[in-house]
Amino acid sequence: MITRPPEARSPSLDQLLASKEIAITCGPGGVGKTTIAAAAAAMAACHHGGRVLVLTIDPARRLADALGLKGIGNTEHRIPAEMFTDAGVTPRGELWAAMLDTRASWDALIERHAPDRRTKEQILANPLYQNLAGRFVQSHDYIAAERLFEIHATGNYDLIVVDTPPNRHALDFLDAPKRMAEFFSSRLLRWLIVPYRSRLVNLASRPFYQVADRVLGTQFLADIAEFFILFQSMHEGFVERADSVVRLLADRRTTFIVVSTLESSPLEEAELFADELVRRRLNLGAIVLNRTLPEYLRDNRARVVAQALGERADQIAEGLPTDPAITAPLLREVAESFFNFSLVARREAEQRDELASSPDVVTSAPVFADDISNLAGLLTIGETIWG
């Protein structure tokens, strides 16, 4: 494996975001995607200027507080300049934030595509639609991409940083628009609703309906059919829109930032995802390794010192003004802890080296003992990944 020192990498996140209009943070769950998205957006607002929007899905409460997002819904709002002043910086541009409200976004989408008022109301009232919009897990993915498209099309922002929904598979996000388009173009879908369109067809004559009817019951089938028929009326608009969303994701002005920690299982998923981005000819711009342990844990001299500290704890404690009965076990504890974390740090470094052949920006944010709870904290993280 050929490794390069991190400083040889080019370009930086700074340079990458200077040339992009859309940055999509993605990767496995629980690695701090939202924090990284917000930190990158805050840095861009500070240093690049213009109007920068961070579109988040489900931020932690403290992070939402850090962005002043409490109670903010689907509409974008500006982070007050005073929050930057409080953090001790004068931003060159504006930072905006919005939280994705799946239900409201779906309703807006129906509103846009429904051919008439009656269809719109029927869809909104259909029990299946209500489930689809409110609970259906995968709909998050499509709606996030759709909302991104909509906001980008307004031309209001220089840069939009999008946080993707937490998924079992990061790839769901990429597949969502295509799945949505396929769903609406499907011949099978039309075939499925034929008997409900034409009363001439004898339902009982078809084995499929016979089975479906026995299993699901007639009313449920009718609900499904109504839902599909109504959605059919929006077919063209939806397919066209989904295609546009796909094009936007592949646009040169769009970049993907894969976020991971250096733990083996998230990293494995992140690597698969990065490979998939390349395979699909999407722009993998950067890999951000979050919550990495500090370098000094891998320092060999420190290790020698820790070894001596543990082995000669009694002797050292005797020579100190502190209570030796407390100090000696304490020193052993400190040494033990160093070795524990040192091992994890070495494992992480090995994982990082394995990534090193990748041509993208690879940058790391250190582990912080505390959660990010204000803009200053966000900018501190931002500084570490920016340069």
Partner 1 sequence: MTATLGEPTPPPPTDLLGRELLFVTGKGGVGKTTVTAALAQLASQQGRRVLACDIDASGGLGSMFEAGPTGFTPTPVAPGISVMSMDTEASLREYLKLHLRIPLAGRIGPLAKAFDFVATAAPGVREILTVGKLCWEVKEGHFDLVVVDAPASGHVVSQLGAPQAINDLVKVGQIRTQTDWMLEILSDPGRTGVVAVTTPEEMPVSETIELTERIAEQTSAALAAVVVNRVLPELFTTREEEVFERLRTPELCGSIGEVVGGDVAPVLEAARLAVNMRRARAVHLRHLQERLDPRIAVLLVPYIFTRVGGLRSTRQVATSLGDELGL
219 binds partner 1 (CB under 8 A): yes
132 binds partner 1 (CB under 8 A): yes
Residue written as token pair 């050292």: 316
Q: Output the smallest distance, CB 90 to partner 1, in A.
A: 30
Q: Output the smallest distance, CB 155 to partner 1, in A.
A: 34
From 36, 18, 62, 23, select the one nearest 374 (Cα to Cα). Answer: 62
Tokens representing 257 are 């930032």
Determine contact, residues 293/367, Cβ cutoff 8 Å: yes
Rounded to whole angstroms, what are the CA distances from 184 to 173, 278, 300? 18, 27, 60
Sheet containing 159-163: give its strands across.
77-78, 94-99, 51-56, 159-163, 22-26, 254-260, 284-292, 361-366
Query: Distance between CA atoms of 192 and 174, rounded to whole angstroms?
Result: 27
Q: Which of 112, 186, 354, 357: binder of partner 1 (CB under 8 A)?
A: 186
357 binds partner 1 (CB under 8 A): no
Q: Which is nearer to partner 1, 156 or 340 (CB)?
A: 340
Rounded to whole angstroms, what are the CA distances from 357 to 16, 285, 349, 361? 19, 14, 14, 11
Q: Output the smallest distance, CB 138 to partner 1, in A.
A: 8
Q: Which of 80, 217, 359, 387: binder of partner 1 (CB under 8 A)?
A: 217
Q: Output the smallest distance, CB 17 to partner 1, in A.
A: 25
222 binds partner 1 (CB under 8 A): no
Q: Which of 1, 8, 125, 188: binder of partner 1 (CB under 8 A)?
A: 188
Count of residues in contact with partner 1, rule CB under 8 A: 82
Q: Which of 3, 19, 218, 357: binder of partner 1 (CB under 8 A)?
A: 218
Q: Which of 86, 296, 314, 350: binder of partner 1 (CB under 8 A)?
A: 296
Query: Which region among 12-20, 38-46, 109-117, 136-144 touches partner 1 (by CB under 8 A)?
Result: 136-144
Residue written as token pair 């990065």: 274
227 binds partner 1 (CB under 8 A): yes
195 binds partner 1 (CB under 8 A): no
Q: What are the E-state strand segments in the chain?
A: 22-26, 51-56, 77-78, 94-99, 159-163, 254-260, 284-292, 361-366
Q: Could you tell me how far CA 127 lies from the centroid of its own chain?
A: 30
Which phi and psi (to 5°) does residue 289 adopt?
-100, 110
Task: Name residues contacting partner 1, limited to 237-276 (CB under 8 A).
Answer: 263-266
Q: Which is nearer to partner 1, 89 or 229 (CB)?
A: 229
Query: Which region among 117-125, 155-163, 214-222, 357-365 touches partner 1 (by CB under 8 A)?
Result: 214-222
Q: Which of 3, 4, 19, 30: binder of partner 1 (CB under 8 A)?
A: 30
Which phi and psi (to 5°) does residue 294 adopt?
-65, 150
Q: Which is nearer to partner 1, 18 or 229 (CB)?
A: 229
Task: Name residues contacting partner 1, limited to 49-78 (CB under 8 A).
Answer: 60-62
Task: Name residues contacting partner 1, limited to 86-105 (CB under 8 A).
Answer: none
Q: x-or-dash pattern for partner 1, window 322-351, by CB under 8 A?
A: xx--xx-xxx-xxx-xx-xxxxx--x----
**DSSP 3-state assignment of 361?**
strand
Question: How many CA atoms lie within 13 Å of 120's alpha carbon, on the beta-carbon side?
Answer: 12
In sequence order, the β-bridge partners of residue 79 are none
Task: Name residues contacting partner 1, limited to 367-386 (CB under 8 A).
Answer: 367, 369-371
Biggest alpha carbon–alpha carbon distance for the chain: 99
Tokens representing 254 are 């769009």
Query: Which region among 42-50, 116-124, 316-324, 356-364 touches partner 1 (by CB under 8 A)?
Result: 316-324
